[in-house]
């Protein structure tokens, strides 16, 4: 084999996945058709769960240094904001950070871990057999074929990997388009007026100003038709009464509401993540974030399969867990897009205004706001437990509780996840916690589980009464127990470790 995994696509999802695989000791090569990193940024935000993932790998500081935080976000552009600050997270905010910056930081991380990144290499085909996958790549020296044990398609909505693997991509065709532009010149006094008319107008680094809008007179224009400066000016004049002083465009783009979800996220040795698995209108900025979260879920599972310790069916849980999340994202973005479209169609504007008012009122209800905030932020994402009798915590995010651990510099739970291993956490503070025999000894799971006994922790309401918890490498809870019987707990612990971390 030339390598263990070939990741096709060096966008945020592909780079995140490559870093996760390399962290787990998997030989990883990224191939990207573009010669250089993308300088223009379609996405501008990281949502709370994505920042948590960076925190779990000790990377949050790199992102926070370059970004700007705001306490909430929006749903369908409604005036009542989603209150991320009411959610249970140390990162309950939106981080404004251009996609190009995010990609640069993820590439830096991947290279630090030894990932090979080849730019200017276009994937043209693949074939898989029972032992691996052959990938045809056209590079500077011509066409070559490389072989890997697995291939991950992170190559966008037109994914060649998905097509070659024969994975269907059902969904809805494009019916609506919008435009965005980054301009070197714009009238700063006009930004407020533009926002009042429903235009997204935000200052970017480097003196640029971004405008994003849907023009009722141009919203049926095919996404493939190029945007011109003249069109952008005309649209702003129609909507705002002024062209907002825009000039010297750095980037102009048209985007549509085609919405599709891969039928399967896995076809034997080929897996999909990010836009290769799901595309939708960029409502509430969920696309990039969903891709990062796909990568975090897939990385450790694929590494376990390659290293030979994955329990039966573990890699299949990638589709089982992430496909419903992709479905939820595509559905909520369709709802948001429909509401925007109805507002723009004259015959629907009156009922659309009434619907918006109703939704504004509903978002004023704390429980409703929290539910939608959890959806958009992805802090509400949990995975169903295979055992119907499992503790209610199973599948949920592990809260980043404060810890006191003898002989350790870690002060919070997420610090224990920096190496991308399972964490077996004893919250009962009992001395009979058999770390060596159950997780840390020669015959145990020492190569994949970090076992820790706390000498104290600042509790969390959801962990009341919990004696032990097994946290997956992606920060979700695999097992928890509240039993006070040490012998019963020891048996439960063994079965939980075997079910998730394989045979000892």
pTM of the model: 0.96
Phi, psi of 232 (to 5 degrees): -65, -45
**Residue owning tokens 């004023």:** 364
> Span 144-163, mean pLDDT?
98
**Structural domain of residue 204, as residue ranges?**
177-256
Distance of alpha carbon 210 from alpha carbon 12, whole angstroms:
21
Condensed to tens digits (0 to 9), the pLDDT of residues 211-220 reads 999 999 999 9
User: Is 406 inside a domain boundary?
Assistant: yes
Among candidates 41, 69, 76, which has minimal Cα distance to 376? 76
Query: What pLDDT was estimated at residue 320?
Result: 98
Condensed to tens digits (0 to 9), the pLDDT of residues 390-408 reads 999 999 999 999 988 877 8
Residue 456 has pLDDT above 60, yes or no: yes
User: Is 157 inside a domain boundary?
Assistant: yes
Residues 464, 470 contacting (CB under 8 angstroms) = no
User: Is 397 inside a domain boundary?
Assistant: no
Residue 84 has pLDDT above 70, yes or no: yes
Domain boundary among 338, 360, 377: 377
- Residues 6+ positions from 423 with CB-CB distance below 8 Å: 413, 416, 417, 449, 450, 451, 452, 470, 471
Higher pLDDT, residue 218 or 439:
218
**CA separation (Å) from 309 to 68, 265, 270, 328, 352?**
41, 22, 19, 31, 54
CATH number of the domain bearing residue 469: 3.40.30.120
Query: What pLDDT was estimated at residue 38?
Result: 87
Q: Tokens in use for 259?
A: 């919405």
> How do strand 3-8 and strand 142-153 relate by DSSP bridges?
parallel
Among candidates 269, 312, 319, which has minimal Cα distance to 294? 319
- Are 236 and 266 members of one domain? no
- Are 42 and 125 members of one domain? yes
- Are 163 and 265 members of one domain? yes
Instruction: Provide the edge-to-edge strand list for the sheet that holds 259-261.
Output: 171-172, 259-261, 278-279
User: Is 345 inside a domain boundary?
Assistant: yes
Query: What pLDDT was estimated at residue 503?
Result: 87
Residue 429 has pLDDT above 80, yes or no: no
Residues 436, 443 contacting (CB under 8 angstroms) = no
What pairs with residue 116 in β-bridges?
A: 29
Q: What is the mean pLDDT of the chain?
A: 94
- Are 274 and 358 members of one domain? yes
Condensed to tens digits (0 to 9), the pLDDT of residues 18-76 reads 999 999 999 999 999 999 998 888 999 999 999 999 999 999 999 999 999 998 899 99
- Are 193 and 150 members of one domain? no
- Are 278 and 342 members of one domain? yes
Residues 236, 211 contacting (CB under 8 angstroms) = yes
Domain boundary among 256, 281, 309: 256
Among candidates 144, 164, 162, 141, which has minimal Cα distance to 153? 162
- What ranges in 25-114 are assigned the alpha helix state H? 48-56, 60-66, 99-112
Domain boundary among 197, 232, 256: 256
- Are 13 and 102 members of one domain? yes
User: Is 20 inside a domain boundary?
Assistant: yes
Residue 256 has pLDDT above 80, yes or no: yes
First CA to last CA across the chain, in angstroms? 27
Q: How many domains is the chain built from?
A: 3
- Are 69 and 12 members of one domain? yes
Distance of alpha carbon 374 from alpha carbon 47, whole angstroms:
10
Distance of alpha carbon 304 from alpha carbon 107, whole angstroms:
23
- Are 271 and 347 members of one domain? yes
**CA separation (Å) from 139 to 143, 193, 212?**
6, 48, 36
Query: What pLDDT was estimated at residue 455?
Result: 72
How many CB atoms lie under 10 A from the CB of residue 417?
Answer: 25
Condensed to tens digits (0 to 9), the pLDDT of residues 337-380 reads 999 999 999 999 999 999 999 999 999 999 999 999 999 999 99
Residue 442 has pLDDT above 50, yes or no: no
Query: What pLDDT was estimated at residue 435?
Result: 43
Total length of the chain: 504
Q: Could you give the 3-state DSSP secondary structure of residue 419?
A: coil
Distance of alpha carbon 73 from alpha carbon 77, whole angstroms:
9
**CA separation (Å) from 328 to 34, 280, 321, 353?**
31, 11, 12, 25
Query: What pLDDT was estimated at residue 160?
Result: 98
Distance of alpha carbon 445 from alpha carbon 19, whole angstroms:
23
Condensed to tens digits (0 to 9), the pLDDT of residues 266-321 reads 999 999 999 999 999 999 999 999 999 999 999 999 999 999 999 999 999 999 99
- Are 82 and 204 members of one domain? no
Helices (H) and strands (E) in the chain, counts: 13, 26
Query: What pLDDT was estimated at residue 430?
Result: 63
User: Is 386 inside a domain boundary?
Assistant: no
Q: What is the Cα 146 distance to its own chain's centre?
A: 28
Query: What pLDDT was estimated at residue 436?
Result: 46
- Residues 6+ positions from 308 with CB-CB distance below 8 Å: none
Distance of alpha carbon 229 from alpha carbon 234, whole angstroms:
9
Residues of the chain with pLDDT > 70: what percent?
Answer: 96
Query: What pLDDT was estimated at residue 40?
Result: 86
CATH number of the domain bearing residue 208: 3.30.70.2450
In which band, very low, low, confident or very high, does the pLDDT at 441 lie, cut at 50, 70 and 90?
A: very low
- Are 154 and 203 members of one domain? no
User: Is 236 inside a domain boundary?
Assistant: yes
- Are 167 and 184 members of one domain? no
User: Is 385 inside a domain boundary?
Assistant: no
CATH number of the domain bearing residue 308: 3.50.50.60
């Amino acid at each position: 084999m030339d390598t263990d995994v070939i990741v096709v696509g060096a966008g945020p999802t592909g780079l995140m996945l490559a870093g996760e695989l390399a962290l787990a000791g998997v030989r990883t090569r990224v191939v990207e058709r573009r010669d250089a990193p993308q300088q223009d940024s379609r996405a501008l935000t990281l949502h709370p769960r994505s920042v948590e993932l960076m925190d779990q790998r000790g990377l949050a500081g790199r992102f926070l240094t370059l970004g700007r935080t705001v306490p909430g976000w929006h749903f369908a552009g409604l005036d009542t904001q989603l209150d991320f600050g009411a959610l249970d997270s140390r990162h309950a905010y939106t981080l404004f950070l251009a996609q190009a910056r995010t990609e640069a930081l993820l590439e830096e991380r991947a290279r630090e871990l030894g990932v090979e990144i080849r730019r200017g290499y276009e994937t043209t085909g693949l074939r898989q057999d029972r032992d691996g996958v052959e990938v045809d790549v056209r590079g500077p020296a011509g066409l070559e074929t490389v072989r890997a044990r697995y291939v991950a398609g992170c190559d966008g909505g037109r994914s060649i990997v998905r097509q070659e693997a024969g994975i269907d991509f059902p969904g809805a065709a494009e019916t609506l388009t919008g435009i965005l532009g980054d301009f070197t010149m714009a009238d700063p006094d006009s930004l407020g007026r533009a926002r009042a008319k429903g235009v997204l107008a935000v200052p970017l680094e480097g003196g640029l100003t971004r405008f994003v809008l849907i023009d009722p007179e141009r919203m049926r224009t095919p996404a493939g038709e190029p945007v011109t400066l003249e069109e952008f000016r005309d649209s702003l004049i129609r909507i705002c009464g002024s062209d907002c002083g825009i000039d010297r465009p750095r980037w102009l783009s048209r985007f549509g509401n085609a919405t599709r979800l891969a039928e399967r996220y896995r076809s034997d040795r080929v897996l999909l993540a990010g836009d290769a698995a799901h595309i939708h209108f960029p409502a509430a900025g969920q696309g990039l974030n969903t891709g990062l979260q796909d990568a975090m879920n897939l990385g450790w599972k694929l590494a376990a399969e390659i290293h030979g310790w994955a329990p039966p069916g573990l890699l299949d849980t990638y589709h089982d867990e992430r496909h419903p999340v992709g479905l939820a994202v595509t559905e909520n973005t369709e709802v948001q897009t429909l509401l925007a479209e109805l507002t723009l169609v004259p015959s629907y504007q009156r009922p659309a205004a009434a619907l918006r008012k109703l939704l504004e009122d509903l978002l004023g209800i704390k429980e409703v706001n929290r539910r939608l905030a959890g959806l958009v932020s992805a802090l509400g994402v949990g995975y169903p437990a295979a055992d119907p009798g499992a503790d209610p915590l199973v599948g949920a995010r592990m809260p980043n509780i404060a810890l006191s651990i003898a002989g350790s510099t870690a002060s919070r739970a997420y610090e224990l996840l920096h190496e991308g291993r399972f964490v077996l956490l004893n919250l009962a503070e009992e001395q009979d916690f058999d770390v060596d025999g159950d997780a840390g000894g020669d015959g145990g799971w020492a190569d994949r589980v970090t076992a820790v006994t706390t000498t104290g922790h600042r509790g969390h309401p959801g962990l009341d009464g919990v004696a032990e918890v097994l946290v997956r490498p992606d920060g979700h809870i695999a097992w928890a127990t509240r039993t006070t019987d040490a012998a019963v707990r020891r048996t439960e612990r063994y079965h939980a470790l075997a079910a998730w971390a394989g045979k000892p």
